[in-house]
Structure 1
Amino acid sequence: MKIILTGATGTLGSRILFSLLEQKFDQIDSVYLPVRGKAATHPETRIRNMLSSQNIPEFIQNNRSAIAHKIKVIDAKNILEPTSYLQDENIDYFIHSAGYVNLSTDPAAKKEVFKENFEFTKDIFKAYSNRINKFVYISTAFSFGDIGGIVKNDYVDNDTGNYRNHYEAAKHASEKYLLEKSKTENLPVQILRPSVLGGNIEEAPNFFISKYMVFYLFAKFFYNNKSKDGIRIATDSATGLNIIPTDYAANVIVKVLETNIQQLNIVHAEETNMMKGIVQVLDAVGFSNFSFTDEQITTATGFASKLEEFYYETIGVHLHPYLNSKPSEWDTTLLESILPMPKYNLEDYLMQTVSFAKAANFRNQKW
Structure 2
Amino acid sequence: MNILLTGATGTLGSRVLYALFEERFNTITTIYLPVRKKTTVHPEKRIQNVLLSEFAPQFIKDNSAAIFNKIIVIDADNFLNPASFLGNTTKIDFFIHAAGFVNLSTLPSAKTEIFKENLQFTKDIFFAFHKHISKFIYISTAFASGNVGGRIENDFSTLKAAEYRNHYEASKHASELFLIKACKEKNLPIQILRPSVLGGNIWEKPTYFISKYMVFYLFAKFFKSAPTDHSVRITTTETTGLNIIPTDYAAQVIAKVISRDIEQLNIVHRKETNMMKGIAQILNTVGFTNFSFTTDEINATTGYKSELEAYYYETIGVHLHPYMTSKPNEWDTELLESILPIPEYTLEEYLAETVAFAVKHNFRNQKW
State TM-score, norm by structure 1.
0.99
User: Shift in Å at residue 40 of structure 1?
Assistant: 1.1
Give the counterpart letter for 1:150 in structure 2: R
Report the equivalent of 2:160. 159
Q: Give the gaps of 5 or more residues in structure 2.
A: none
Q: What is the CA-CA distance between 1:157 and the residue it aligns to?
A: 2.2
Distance 1:84 1:302 in 2: 58
Aligned to 2:233: 232
**2:206 partner amino acid:** P
Partner of 1:196: 197
Separation in structure 2 between the aligned mates of residue 274 and residue 225 of structure 1, nearest angstrom: 20
Q: Distance in 2 between matches of 1:263 and 1:125?
A: 18
Confirm or deny: 8 A CA contact 2:277 2:348 kept in the other structure: yes
Task: Provide the residue aligned with 1:207 in structure 2.
Answer: 208
Aligned residue in 2 for 1:340: 341
Structure 1 vs Structure 2 CA RMSD: 0.7
Secondary structure of the equivalent of 2:134? strand
Matched, 1:221 2:222: yes
What corresponds to 2:363 in structure 1?
Answer: 362
Structure 1, unmatched stretches of 5+, are none
Hey, what's the Cα distance between the residues in 1 that align with 2:69 and 2:138?
A: 26
Partner of 2:14: 14
Structure 2 CA distance, aligned partners of 1:156 and 1:351? 35
Matches within 5 A, 1:294-309: 294-309=295-310
| Number of the residue aligned with 1:115 | 116
Q: Does 1:37 align with 2:49?
A: no
Q: C-alpha separation between the residues in 1 aligned to 2:168 and 2:140?
A: 10
Could you tell me how far 1:182 is from its partner in structure 2? 1.6
Deviation readout 1:28-72 (Å, 9 max, x if unpaired): 000000001111111111111111111010000000110010011
SS in 2 for 1:31: strand
Indicate the residue corresponding to 2:61 in structure 1: 61
CA distance in 1, matches of 2:143, 2:52: 34
Q: Distance in 1 between matches of 2:68 and 2:260?
A: 27
SS in 1 for 2:151: strand
Structure 1 position 227, deviation (Å):
5.2
Instruction: Look up the match of 1:263.
Output: 264
Aligned to 2:149: 148
Q: In structure 2, what is the Cα distance between the partners aligned to 1:115 and 1:161?
A: 20
Tell me, yes or no, if structure 1 residue 135 matches structure 2 residue 136. yes
**Equivalent in the alignment of 2:252:** 251
Deviation larger for 223-232 or 317-326: 223-232
Contact 1:242/1:271 (CA < 8 Å) preserved in 2?
A: yes
In 1: Cα distance, 2:104 partner to 2:283 partner: 22
Deviation of the 1:160 alpha carbon: 2.7
Partner Cα distance (2:70, 2:135) in 1:
20
Q: Matched residues in 2 for 1:165 and 1:159: separation? A: 16
Asked if the contact 1:147–1:160 (Cα under 8 Å) also holds between the matched residues in 2, the reply is no
Relative to the length of structure 2, the TM-score reads 0.99
